[in-house]
Structure formats: structure tokens, C-alpha cells
Amino acid sequence: MDPNQNEGQGSGFVNKANNVGRLAYDNTRRFKGAYRAIKTLRITTAAGGIWWVPIIFALCFALGLTLFISMSVEGGVGGGSGVGEGGDLSSPPPSESGTTTPTCSQGNYSDCLLSQFNVTVIGTTDQTTLRLIYDALSIPMAYPLFSQRFKAARVTISINSAQTGFNGGWLVTNQAGDIAIYQKFFEAADRTKKEYLIHEAGHSVGNTNDQLQQNFYKSVYKAGLDPKCYLQGVIKTYALGLINSNTRLPNEAFAEAVADSVLCNNTGICPKNSPSGFDIPNFPSTCLSTYTWIKNNVLGG
């Protein structure tokens, strides 16, 4: 990816507002239904003089409804989870098994990047920057097949914090899999930096295994699978406003699929990475063919 402007992240606020509206509507319907039931019960019991049955029924229902609303607001609206609601980016989705997130116990992130990921970083010795890179890469590197392919690329990451990228770009990955990071990248939030670094790591694997990303594109997008997940030939969380005649659609679709597959789970929104993209709810199930292909052929976890 080569973003040319500092585009913001998707927000879960609209989704929360919609959930509150749906909750109020559903509870109103339940209340009206209960009222009709109580009214019917009063009519049928009036002749027998059992006047206290509807009253007890109504009191029990009111108490139950109050508890239901309280629990729904606490867990269903205010307790959103997943990446789209500020989910944890430090480890693979919790539903994954067979993955072990790498750690740098000695705290020398330059050494850990080289020894664990076969990555050389040039242009900085700042441990904060090196840790950010390590933490981001440790997410896809938890998957054995991805780790194998990424290490084989022998990636060099060059830090150009005082330079402006081509067309104002943040990051760019060349055909050899090497990643260049430019000034705009360092103005973003750490969360955004991690998302883009993982996308670029996907490019490192795809660009050094071109047949792999071409097979992915042919097997999923060209086959017409997951139509709700793609726009303009790429997964729609991508910055669609950046697409032009020079965009390599299979490459961008592949890198975005890798990032979404390791960052997004089935309990939240997979957020767009720019205002020109679109959120995807519950990515692994909504984009099942994409997720399954990437998991089986690229991640291996």
C-alpha cells in the first residue's frame, strides 16, 4: 500500500447507535406483546374471580424486562469487541489455534527482528520504532507458513523519517519484498502503523511468491466468491481512493486479505483503513472463501 494522505480509521460509533435503536425497538415490541397477553389473561380469568393472576404476571414480566435491558446495554452495546471496536492488535484473533506469538525477551528489538524474522532495519536505532515494527510483524509471524515465507524473503526495512514518499506515500514495498517507510507514517497512531506494516508484510510475501498471490486472486475474486467483500477488484477495507491504472489489483487484494485475516475476527467490525474504504463485519465468516484460502495457503495456522 502507498497511501498519499493521512486518512482516518473507521469508527464503531455508528454501529453502536444502530444497535441501541434496534435494542429499543425490539424491547418495545416485547412490551406490547406482553401487554396484549396480560389483557387477554384478565378477560379469561375475570369470570372466575382470580383477579390477582394478571397482576403477579405483570410484575414478574416488568422485573425480567428491566434486567434484560440492563444486560443488553452493558454487553451488547457498550462492550463491543474485535478490531473495529479497538480490539487488541498484539496477538492473533482469539479463535485461532496452533499459533504462538513471538516475543523479544531481551528487549533488543533490532537483534530480535534479525534473529527471529530475518529482518534488517536500517536508518534508525530508536528502540520505540523498532519495537513498533517488531510488535506489528509478530502478529502474522505467529503463523508458521507465513513466517517461513517471510523469513525467506530476507526483508530490509529502511526508515526514512525525514523524507516524503512518492506522491506523499507512507510506505512502499518493492518486488524484492523490501519495505521503505516515510515521514507521513510517523504522524499516524500506533494502531494505524501496525495495520499498514502488516499489509506491507503481506506484500513482502506476495511479491516474492507472485504465483501465490495470482492463484489467490484467480481462485477467489476472479471466481466470483465473496462478492460482498470486494469493490474495484480489491477487498473493500483497502483505500479504494488510491486505485488507479497503475494499481496491481491482485497484489493489493492479497496484502489486504493477509492483514484482515490476522487482525479481524468474528466478533466485531473489520475496519476500513481509509475514508474511501468500507468496514466489513465478522470478516472470517462474511469473507469465508478469502479467509479460508489465506489461512490454508498463506498463514498455515
Please name the residues in contact with 5: beta carbons below 8 A apart, sequence gap of 6 or more: 168
**pTM for this entry:** 0.69
Average pLDDT, consecutive stretches of 10 residues, N- to C-terminus, the chain (301 residues): 36 32 40 43 44 46 39 27 31 54 91 97 95 96 97 97 79 94 90 93 98 98 98 96 92 97 90 92 96 97 67
- What pLDDT is recorded for position 16? 31
Q: Are 133 and 157 in contact (CB under 8 A)?
A: yes
CATH of domain 83-299: 3.40.390
Answer yes or no: are the C-beta atoms of 12 and 80 closer than 8 Å.
yes
The CA distance from 161 to 212, in Å, is 32
Backbone torsions φ then ψ of 271, nearest 5 degrees: -80, 145
- Whole-angstrom distance, CA of residue 69 vs CA of residue 274: 35
| Residue-level pLDDT at 98 | 61
For 39, residues 6+ apart whose C-beta sits below 8 A from its C-beta are none
Query: What are the Cα distances from residue 205, in Å, to 5, 29, 79?
Result: 25, 52, 36
